[in-house]
Amino acid sequence: MSENPRIAVVGGGPAGLMAAEAAIAAGAAVDLYESRGSVGRKLLIAGRGGLNLTHAEPFDRFVMRYGERARIVAGWLREFDAGALRDWARGLGIETFVGSSGRVFPADLKSAPLLRHWVTRLRAQGVRFHVRHRWTGCSADGALRFEGDDGEGLRPDATVLALGGASWPQLGSDGAWVSWLQDRGVGVAPLEPSNCGFDAAWSPHFAARHAGHPLKSIAASVAGETAPALQGECVVTATGVEGQLVYALSARLRDAIARDGTATLVLDLAPGRSRDQIAIQLAGPRGSRSRSEHWRRRVHIDGAKAGLLLEHLPKDAWDDGARVAATIKSLPLTLLRPRPIAEAISSAGGIRFDALTDDLMLRAVPGSFCAGEMLDWEAPTGGYLLAACFASGRRAGAAAARWAQEAVKEHEDDSANV
């Protein structure tokens, strides 16, 4: 073969960077194009509170976090699982540790050193970076076009698209690629918010008093489902609720709203105690204490939890211990809508898997591969999002290099026979 095949990777997030690494390791020459002024911006933002790379739970449980896409995503993860990801980070000089929740973090919790070491290594391996190159689709003959480019376009031997979903558009993931691919006959499921907050119909008094306050040590479930409640915490916002516990249920809540118009999040404000125990504790003498002080001392309900009770119960039930106890154990919170996708941590929907080969190549656009959040899968926070982005990027990049090598070889064979 006279020269290495040329791969264009469009998108400089985790999936795109991993695709570039896999493609160059397979013998391709790689150019990476990023719409913003630097790569990995969403990775940096996500790591502000500690970069959650992956999760250490057993593989069978790990892949179930991907719901209906578990079987497909499992295929990627078998090639690049949590252990392999930790070894990869170690190769960058970044040691990791497993937290008490099973989440895996860099030893210093930071994302910037990992990204910096990664980009340095990619440059040393020969990846050429082109920032401020916003992809605007392909010309009629398949050439890649970029904003402001008046030339003939770029014609690599294969392409990997890793353009993200539609969450955090200010960092580059704006979903603009959807119409471009649909115009080429690619099936795309509508992009929807995932790992997102939800709106509730707070009274002005409750919103003003409790917005920004946490609801700690609670359990939550979705009304009408048999799945066990999840324990954790969330935060009251000016318009509703958000946070780890809500994100874990966001797909089910979003789907319930789409189906029924609203969803009911059932909160257990005291998961360590039974309804009868709470009723007995509330029945104790209140004396001269205020109602809020009585709740705080007797059943440890105060702050936003107490505000929720007052928001939900009619005034004539505030001193009814049995009704208060029942509501503490099962407070139905009506959710009206998910917050806009631009605010979501991630997005659901994307390129349908029947539009892709197992190697993540677009059936309608041979030689174009896709990876990361632009594919039709979703997962909760906890390391699952990044793990699948890394693994899909690795598969797409390696497959693009193989495809390009075959395409170049066929071209050379055809030329030799002329």
**How far apart (Å, rounded) are the C-alpha atoms in residues 8 and 227?**
44
Strands 198-200 and 188-194, sheet pairing: unpaired
What does the pLDDT look like over 99-129, one tens digit per residue? Answer: 999 999 999 999 999 999 999 999 999 999 9
Helices 275-282 and 321-329, axial angle in degrees (round to 10) = 140
Q: What is the pTM of this model?
A: 0.92
pLDDT in tens, 334-384: 999 999 999 999 999 999 999 999 999 999 999 999 999 999 999 999 999
CB contact at 8 A, 13 and 164:
yes
Which of these, 17, 11, 12, 1, lies nearest to 397 by C-alpha position?
17
Higher pLDDT, 4 or 276: 276
Q: How far apart are CA 103 and CA 115, in angstroms?
A: 19
Q: Predicted confidence band at 49 (pLDDT cuts at 50, 70, 90)?
A: confident
The secondary structure of 179-247, three-state, reads: HHHHHCCCCEEEEEEECCCEEECCCHHHHHHHCCCEEEEEEEEECCCCCCCEEEEEEECCCEEECHHHH
